Amino acid sequence: MLICPELPFNQLYKRALSVFMLCILFCLYRILRGPTAPDRIVTIDIFGILIVGLCAILSIPTGRTWYIDIGIAWALQSFIGTLALAKYLEGKGFDE
């Protein structure tokens, strides 16, 4: 439910949401069809950034701040996951 559906901001919101969803679809395609593992890791990191942006976009018109909390948690998880995958690809164990 939008706070003020009659504002011209509503059209901008819908377009931004559409662009983010399209970028997320491109990222999902690249994750599945990526030529190498490092390409997939970079795409997973970009996917996490897009999810954080999507949470921020969803929080503005709805007025619900818990979307921001979800975005912060997702950003932390994405960062730690990217570091773990990069270390795994480097060939080191997780205990070093």
How high is the pLDDT of residue 89?
82
Task: Provide the token pair at 1.
Answer: 């439910």
How high is the pLDDT of residue 73?
93
Residues in the chain, how many? 96
pTM above 0.85, yes or no: no
Give 2-35 pLDDT, tens digit per residue. 555 555 667 788 888 899 999 999 999 998 988 8
Question: What's the distance, Cα to Cα, between the start and end of the chain in Å?
Answer: 48
For the chain, the structural domain boundaries read 19-89
Give 63-89 pLDDT, tens digit per residue. 888 999 999 999 999 889 888 888 888
Q: Which long-range contacts (CB under 8 A, 24 or more apart) does 22-27 make?
A: 23/50, 24/50, 24/51, 24/54
Mean local confidence (pLDDT), 37-58:
89
